């Protein structure tokens, strides 16, 4: 991955961001004064219910949309002061955007879709790089397929390769796992967190998928256009525990169980890591893994008993 990406992340800072959509039906205040700072090397997740303003926030950071009030700074660029043309250029050079609605060009192959942003900047060796990006997302053998010849998960992975084409310092992903099965979601989350942790990019992901949230470094909770809290994934796990123990159900039972399952997966990874580092014996590893797996199976049964697949 190191050879493909050389540019480090940029600080992204939004201040007092307000967005009002006006239509004939009336006004909608999508953002009501949002101030946040995002650091390079950190994968942040914006969590919140549908309508909270997640897409609006990402669109404004990415220069797709303009705020009604407030400022957006990416590195030393004041995005809210750019003209529309300047914003297009800014986005092409600095932002990798994985949109909520898959935005591949249907008449271009996977390879051609990845080539497109590089052609627009006139980068050299574009084809070689595009093939390597497709390899990164595990699709080197499907480079010549058209989007409608790929599964939803594969299309999403092509969309990620497209977003990474110009080695952008800032990566935005809007609900990137919404339509994905477990395996595809895992691949997508893995790439996004690596881009931050290993390559120092600034990564901002919106989601209401706990499989994503528990893997990120930082979780910002957005509700009704306002930031209502910030947690580390560890806090989230504690909350889940309390919600289960105290019957205080803010989130649906299925959501809680899924969060717990995701945190158990993380626990399994940590156990393996600790074993590899020689901190626990093989016997202890097997014992603890068995217990976690038993808990996972019990939770999965519970999920299917309430009519939800894990
Ligand atoms: N183009 C638009 N015109 C009018 N209202 C919009 C538009 N885009 C979003 N909204 C409204 O703004 C609010 C926030 O939307 P959005 O940012 O899409 O939320 P989320 O991504 O968290 O679901 C919602 O009430 C939504 O209906
Ligand atoms: Mg949205």
Mean per-residue pLDDT for 105-122? 94
Distance CA 290, CA 203 (A): 34
Residue 246: count other Cβ atoms within 10 Å of its Cβ.
Answer: 8
Mean per-residue pLDDT for 74-95? 96
Q: How confident is the model at residue 293 (pLDDT cuts 50, 70, 90)?
A: confident
Q: CA 74 → CA 39, 148, 205, distances in Å?
A: 10, 35, 16
Nearest to 168 by CA among 268, 112, 100, 91: 91
Distance CA 97, CA 202 (A): 12
Mean per-residue pLDDT for 60-65? 95
Ligand 2 centre from 57 Cα, in Å?
9
Distance CA 75, CA 130 (A): 26
Residue 208 above 90 pLDDT? no
Nearest to 43 by CA among 159, 202, 263, 161: 202
Quick one: DSSP state of residue 63? T
Mean per-residue pLDDT for 62-76? 96
Closest residue CA from atom 11 of ligand 1: 30
pLDDT score of 263: 83
Most confident segment among 92-101, 105-114, 207-216, 244-253: 105-114
Ligand 2 centre from 221 Cα, in Å?
14
Mean per-residue pLDDT for 192-196? 94
Mean pLDDT (the chain) is: 88
pLDDT score of 248: 47
Task: Answer yes or no: are the C-beta atoms of 61 and 172 closer than 8 Å.
Answer: yes
Nearest to 195 by CA among 208, 207, 204: 204
Q: Which residues line ligand 1 (CB under 6 A)?
A: 21, 23, 28, 30, 48, 50-56
Task: Answer yes or no: are the C-beta atoms of 130 and 110 closer than 8 Å.
Answer: no
Quick one: DSSP state of residue 297? H
pLDDT score of 238: 63
Distance CA 148, CA 213 (A): 29
Distance CA 132, CA 140 (A): 8
Closest residue CA from atom 4 of ligand 1: 21
Mean per-residue pLDDT for 148-176? 94
Q: CA 243 → CA 223, 246, 252, 253, 256, distances in Å?
A: 19, 5, 10, 9, 8
Largest CA distance in the chain: 67
Mean per-residue pLDDT for 62-85? 96
Ligand 2 centre from 233 Cα, in Å?
21
Nearest to 168 by CA among 158, 178, 160, 157: 160
Q: How confident is the model at residue 252 (pLDDT cuts 50, 70, 90)?
A: low
Which residues neighbour ligand 2 (ion) by CB within 5 Å? 54-55
| pTM: predicted TM-score of the whole model, two decimal places | 0.78
User: pLDDT tens digits, residue range 1-28?
Assistant: 768 898 999 999 999 999 999 988 899 9
- In ligand 1, the atom with minimum distance to the C-alpha of 57 is 17
């Amino acid at each position: 991955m190191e050879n493909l990406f050389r540019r480090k992340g940029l600080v992204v800072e939004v201040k007092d961001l307000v967005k009002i959509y006006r239509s004939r039906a009336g006004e909608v205040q999508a953002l009501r004064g949002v101030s946040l700072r995002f650091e390079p090397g950190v994968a942040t997740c914006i969590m919140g219910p549908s309508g909270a303003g997640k897409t609006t926030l990402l669109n404004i950071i990415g220069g797709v949309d303009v705020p009604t009030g407030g400022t957006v700074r990416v590195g030393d660029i004041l995005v809210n002061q750019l003209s529309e043309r300047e914003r297009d250029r800014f986005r092409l050079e600095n932002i990798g955007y994985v949109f909520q609605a898959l935005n591949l060009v249907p008449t271009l192959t996977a390879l051609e879709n990845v080539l497109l942003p590089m052609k627009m900047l006139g980068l050299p060796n574009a084809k070689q790089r595009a093939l390597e990006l497709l390899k990164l997302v595990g699709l080197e053998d499907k480079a010549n397929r058209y989007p409608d010849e790929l599964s939803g998960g594969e299309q999403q992975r092509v969309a990620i390769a497209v977003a990474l084409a110009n080695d952008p310092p800032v990566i935005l992903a809007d609900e990137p796992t919404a339509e994905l099965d477990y395996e595809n979601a895992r691949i997508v989350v893995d790439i996004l967190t690596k881009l931050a942790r290993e390559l120092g990019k600034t990564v901002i992901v919106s989601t209401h998928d706990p499989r994503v949230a528990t893997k990120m470094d930082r979780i910002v909770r957005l509700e009704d256009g306002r930031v209502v809290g910030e947690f580390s994934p560890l806090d989230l796990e504690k909350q889940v525990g309390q919600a289960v123990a105290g019957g205080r159900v803010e989130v649906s039972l299925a959501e809680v169980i899924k969060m717990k399952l995701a945190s158990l997966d993380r626990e399994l990874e940590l156990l393996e890591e600790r074993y590899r580092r020689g901190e626990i014996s093989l016997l202890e590893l097997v014992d603890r893994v068995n217990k976690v797996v038993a808990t996972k199976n019990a939770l999965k049964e519970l999920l299917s008993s309430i009519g939800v697949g894990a």
